[in-house]
Amino acid sequence: MENITKRFGNVVANDAVDFDASPGEIHCLLGENGAGKSTLMRILFGLCRADSGFIYVNGEPATISCPRDAIALGIGMVHQHFMLAERLTVAENIIAGSEPRRHGLLDYERARQKIAEVSQRYGLAVNPDAMVEEISVGQQQRVEILKALMRGARVLILDEPTAVLTPPEVDELFSVMRALRASGTTIIFITHKLKETMEISDRVTVLRDGRTVGVEKTSDATSDGLVEMMVGRSLPIHDDHRAPAQDIISLELKDVSVAGRKGSRARLSSVNLAVRRGEILGIAGVDGNGQLELEEVATGLRRPSQGKLIINGQDVTGFDTKRIRDKGVAYIPSDRLKRGMVSPFSLARNSVLGMQHSAHFSTRGVLQEDVVREHAESIVDLYDVRAESIDQPIGSLSGGNQQKLVVGRELTRPHSVVIAAQPTRGLDVGATHYIREQILASRNRGKAVLLISAELDEILELSDRIAVIYEGQIIDVRRAGQYTERELGLLMTGQRNGV
Amino acid sequence: MSGFADIVLNVNNLAATIRMATPIALAAMGGAFSERSGVVNIGIEGMMLTGAFCGVLGSYFTGSPWLGVLWAVAGGGLVGALLAVFAIRLKADHVVTGVGINILASGATTWLMQVIWKRKGASDLVSGLGTWSVPGLRDIPVLGTILGTHSPLVYISFMLIVLGWVLMFKTPLGLRMRMTGEHPEAADTVGINVHATQYFCVILSGCLAGLGGAYLSLAQLNWFSKDMSAGRGYMALAACIFGGWNPIGGLGASFLFSFTDAIQMRMQTAQIPLAVEIIQMIPYVLTILILAGAVVRSRPPAALGKHYESGHGKK
C-alpha cells in the first residue's frame, strides 16, 4: 500500500501511509486507538475507499472497491467485532457468499467436508452444525479465520484478535498463526499490545496519528522504543511512593450471593472479600464470570440475594446507591457510556453528576453554575482532560478523555473506597497509563481500591493482592507476587489443578 | 353428530379452513421473505388489496382470469418495489412507510374503482377462476370433501409454499437472504449485495401478497369491493411471526386462524344461546392469546427494521 490517504470530514485517518507485508510473514500493525490502523486495513479489504493512494498485490496494481474484490485477490479479514450471524450455523456462516451447490441447492455435505479439511490442516476445530450463538468467543474467532481461509485467503488481516480472548486462547491463536505462516500465508496483525507484538511478529509497522512512524524487524526492536514511537514520548515509570498499607478493612463483602435466573446457576455465590486501606485488591477473571454483578453489589446497584456489604465497619446492605456513595465510595463504572456519564451533557454538567444535590453545588434546588464550572475546570486541569471547552458535550471527546473526566470526578469526591471496574477498557496506551497512575496514586494516599479488570496485565501491574473469580466464585486469593501469569491464566479458566 | 362435534369437527369446516387460509398463508410467506432480509413489511395489507384490485382489472380488460392473476402478482410486486425504495434506498422508517402504503392502496383502489366502473362499493362482475375438482382425490370419503374441490389457486399456493421453503432454507440465495437479515455487515464482507437481496425479497413479498389478493377477488368472489382485504394482511403478518418467519410455519398458523374463523361461522348458524357478537370475537381473542404466547418466545431476524449503509458504496 503506497501513499494512502483517507479523510473522514475534517479528521485525517490516514495521511500518506505506506505499508507492505511479505509472503509468509506475521506483520504487526501497531498503534494507539485512533492511529488509523483499522482504517488502513478496511481500505485494503475494500470496506472503505482511500481518497488517494495505490494498492499493489503481488506486485500488480490492484483496485479494491468492495470486499468481493479483496476476496478475489486472496485477502481475508477477521474483524474485531465478528461478522457472524448469531442464529445461523457455523457452516452457514462459513459458506455464505461462496456456497457449494448441487443442482442449484446448497450442498451442506460438501461444505462440511471442506470445513473439516481446512480446520484439520491448521488446528482450527469447530462443530459445523452448532449455532454461532452457542459457541464461545474463541471458537467464533476460529470460524472467522476459517471463513477467510475457505475463500482462499493468502493475506489474512486480524483486527485486534486477542482483545476478546483468555490467555490460553491467545496461545492457541498464536499457534494457529504460526501454522499459517509456515504454509506461506501473510498475516497482518493489528494490535496495541506490545507484549504480543514482541512475541509473535516478524516485522512491525507503527502508526501514530494516521502516519507511519516506523517499520522495524521485531528482532531489532525494543518494547521501550516501540512505545515511544506509538505514543510519541516515553512513559514515566509509576511512582511507587506510598503510604504503608494498614490493617483496617474499608470494604467488605461477606458471604455475598446473587441468584441467577430461574434454573441457571448463581451469578455470584458466597463471595468473601475484604479490601484494606492503602491496598489494591485486583479481581482477575474472564469477562462474564460475575465481575459485573460484583461491581453492582459493591456499589449498591444490585441488592445481593444473600450476604452483607460492609463499608468502613457499617453494614450498608440494601442501601441505595446515593447513600452508599455518601459513605465514601468512588465508582469508576465498567460501562462508561451507560453509567459513567451522560453523553449529550457538557463536561461541566458531567463533572458534578451524582453530586448535583450537594450543598456545595446547589442552593435551594438551583445549580450554582459558577461553582460547577470552577469544579469542572479544576478536574480538566488536574486530570489532563483534553477538551476545547467545558461546555462541549462529553460525548464528543475521545474515550480516553471521557474516562479521565469520570475518574477525575470520582477521585475528587470525598472518599475512602474506590471501585474501579475495567477502568482502561478501550483506551489507548497513553490514557491507560495515566488512569493506572491515578489508581496507584489513590492507593498511595491510603484509599482502599477494588480493581475489577479483564486485562490480566492491568491486574498484575497494579494489584497488591489478587483474587480470581470463576463462575461467580472467588476460587483463589494471594499476594500479587505469588502467582505466575500462567497460573493466573489457568485459574481464570477454572483449572485449579496443576497450579 | 350433534353439538360440539358437529360444530368443531365438521368436514365442511376443514374445507372452509383451507379456503380461508390460502390467501393468508401466501401473504404470510411474503412477510417471511421480506422480514428475513431485514425489512419490516406492514405494507402486506396494501399489497394484498392492490393485488385483489389488479386481478379484477386484468380479468376485466383481458377477459382472462389467469391473466388477471398475473396482473395481481405484478401489481403487488410494484407496491413491494415502492416500499423497497422508501425503506432501503431512502432509509425511511419501515413501519411508517408500510402504514403509508396501506393507506395509499386503500385510497387508490377505491378511487380507481369509481373511475373505471363508475360504482361505489364494488366493481362489475368479472370472470373468475372457478374450481378444480381433482379426479381420484375427490372420490375418497372425507378427504375428498376436504381437499378434493377447490380453486386452482389453492393447489398452486400449496406448491408455492413448499417451493418458498426450499428457496429460503435450501438454496444459496435463501442463505444470503437470512444472512442479510441477521447481520447485513457480515453479508457485505463476504461479498453479498445487501441492498439487491433486500430489493428482491421485498418485491417477492409484494408478489406473493398480490397473489393472495387475487385469491380474494378472483377465487372467493368474482369482483373487487372496497377494502376487501379487510385486515387479512395484518393477520398474515401475525401468522408469519407465529410461524417463525418460515413459509410452512406461516401456513400452519394460517390454518389455525382460519379454523377458528370457520368454527365461529358455524356457531352462528347453530342454535347456541350466545350473542352473535361474542361468537364473532372468538377467533380474534384466540389470535391474541396465541400471539401473546408466541411473541414472547419468537425472535425476529437480528437486523430487522434497521438500515444498512456500506462504507464502500460511496466515497
Alpha-carbon distance of A441 to B13, in angstroms, equals 80
Q: Are the beta carbons of A330 and A298 closer than 8 angstroms?
A: no
Place of cell 495505490: A54
pLDDT of residue B22: 95
SS3 B310: coil
| Percent of chain A whose predicted confidence (pLDDT) is above 70 | 95
- Phi-psi domain of A154 (left: phi exceeds 0; alpha: psi -120 through 50; beta: other): alpha
- Of the pLDDT bands very low, low, confident and very high (cuts 50, 70, 90), residue A208 is confident
Q: Which of B172, B302, B311 sits opposite A87 (nearest CB)?
A: B302
Q: Which of A101, A147, A151 sits opposite B172 (nearest CB)?
A: A101
Cα dihedral angle (A213, A219, A221, A227), rounded to 10 degrees?
Answer: 90
- Taking any CB pair shorter than 8 Å as contact, residues of chain A touching chain B are 42, 45-49, 51, 65-68, 71, 77, 79, 82-88, 92-93, 95-99, 101, 104-106, 147, 151
Residue A228 pLDDT exceeds 90: no
Which DSSP helix (H) or strand (E) runs through B149? strand B149-150
On chain A, the residues whose CB falls within 8 A of the CB of B183 are 83-86
Through-space distance between the first and last CA atoms of chain B, rounded to whole angstroms: 73
- Of the pLDDT bands very low, low, confident and very high (cuts 50, 70, 90), residue B99 is very high
CA distance A92 to chain B (A): 7
- Does the domain at A2-231 match CATH 1.20.1440.230? Answer given as no
Q: Which of B170, B302, B312 sits opposite A46 (nearest CB)?
A: B312
Stretch B215-222: mean pLDDT, rounded? 92
What are the Cα distances from residue A452, in Å, to A143, A209, A262, A372?
Answer: 30, 31, 27, 30
Alpha-carbon distance of B230 to B234, in angstroms, equals 9
Residue A225 pLDDT exceeds 90: no
Q: Are the beta carbons of B109 and B45 closer than 8 angstroms?
A: no
Query: Would an 8 Å CB–CB cutoff place B185 in contact with chain A?
Result: yes
* pLDDT top residue among A8 and B207: B207
Residues contacting residue B128 through CB under 8 Å, at least 6 positions apart: B59, B65, B218, B219, B221, B222
* pLDDT top residue among A480 and A264: A480
pLDDT of residue A12: 74
Per DSSP, what are the bridge partners of residue A451?
Answer: A282, A420
- Of the pLDDT bands very low, low, confident and very high (cuts 50, 70, 90), residue A497 is low
Q: Which of A45, A67, A99 sits opposite B172 (nearest CB)?
A: A99
pLDDT of residue A209: 81
pLDDT of residue A234: 63
CA distance B208 to chain A (A): 22
pLDDT of residue B295: 66
Q: Which of B175, B311, B315 sits opposite A47 (nearest CB)?
A: B311
pLDDT of residue A263: 62
Lowest-confidence pick of A176-190, B88-102, B278-292: B278-292
CA distance A106 to chain B (A): 5
pLDDT of residue A368: 86
pLDDT of residue B230: 87
pLDDT of residue B315: 34
What cell was used for A342? 451522560
Whether residue B190 and residue A96 make contact (CB cut-off 8 A), yes or no, is yes
Query: Would an 8 Å CB–CB cutoff place B306 in contact with chain A?
Result: no
Q: Write out residues 89-128 of B within 8 Å (CB-CB) of A.
A: none
Q: What is the tens place of the pLDDT at every residue in B108-120?
A: 999 999 999 998 8
Mutate to test the interface with B, among A81, A83, A150 (most CBs of B within 10 A): A83
CA distance A306 to chain B (A): 30
Q: In the 3-class helix/strand/coil scheme, how is chain A assigned residue by residue?
A: CEEEEEEECCEEEEEEECCCCCCCCEEEEEECCCCCHHHHHHHHCCCCCCCEEEEEECCEEECCCCHHHHHHCCEEEECCCCCCCCCCEHHHHHHCCCCCEECCEECHHHHHHHHHHHHHHHCCCCCCCCEHHHCCHHHHHHHHHHHHHHCCCCEEEEECCCCCCCHHHHHHHHHHHHHHHHCCCEEEEEECCHHHHHHHCCEEEEEECCEEEEEEEHHHCCHHHHHHHHHCCCCCCCCCCCCCCCCCEEEEEEEEEECCCCCCCCCEEEEEEEEECCEEEEEECCCCCCHHHHHHHHHCCCCCCEEEEEECCEECCCCCHHHHHHCCEEEECCCHHHHHCCCCCEHHHHCCCCCCCCCCCEECCEECHHHHHHHHHHHHHHCCCCCCCCCCEHHHCCHHHHHHHHHHHHHHCCCCEEEEECCCCCCCHHHHHHHHHHHHHHHHCCCEEEEEECCHHHHHHHCCEEEEEECCEEEEEEEHHHCCHHHHHHHHCCCCCCC
Domain ranges of chain B: 3-130+150-297
What cell was used for A399? 474515550
- Of the pLDDT bands very low, low, confident and very high (cuts 50, 70, 90), residue B180 is very high
CATH of the domain spanning A249-492: 3.40.50.300
Q: Write out residues 31-90 of B within 8 Å (CB-CB) of A.
A: none
On chain B, the residues whose CB falls within 8 A of the CB of A79 are 189
Stretch B51-68: mean pLDDT, rounded? 95
Residue A261 pLDDT exceeds 90: no
Domain ranges of chain A: 2-231, 249-492
* pLDDT top residue among A339 and B108: B108
pLDDT of residue B1: 42
Residue A190 pLDDT exceeds 60: yes
CATH architecture of the domain formed by B3-130+150-297 = Orthogonal Bundle (1.10)
Q: Are the beta carbons of A53 and A3 closer than 8 angstroms?
A: yes
Nearest CA to B207 out of B239, B163, B169 is that of B163
Average pLDDT over chain A, rounded to whole?
Answer: 86
Whether residue A51 and residue B192 make contact (CB cut-off 8 A), yes or no, is no
pTM above 0.90, yes or no: no
Q: Write out residues 163-182 of B within 8 Å (CB-CB) of A.
A: 166, 170-172, 174-176, 178-179, 182
Q: CATH topology of A2-231 equal to that of A249-492?
A: yes
Which residue of B lies nearest to A99 if distances are taken between CA atoms?
B172
- Of the pLDDT bands very low, low, confident and very high (cuts 50, 70, 90), residue A243 is low
Whether residue B312 and residue A51 make contact (CB cut-off 8 A), yes or no, is no
Per DSSP, what are the bridge partners of residue B149?
Answer: B133
Query: Would an 8 Å CB–CB cutoff place B192 in contact with chain A?
Result: yes
Q: Are the beta carbons of B187 and B176 closer than 8 angstroms?
A: yes
Q: Which of B176, B179, B191 sits opposite A68 (nearest CB)?
A: B191
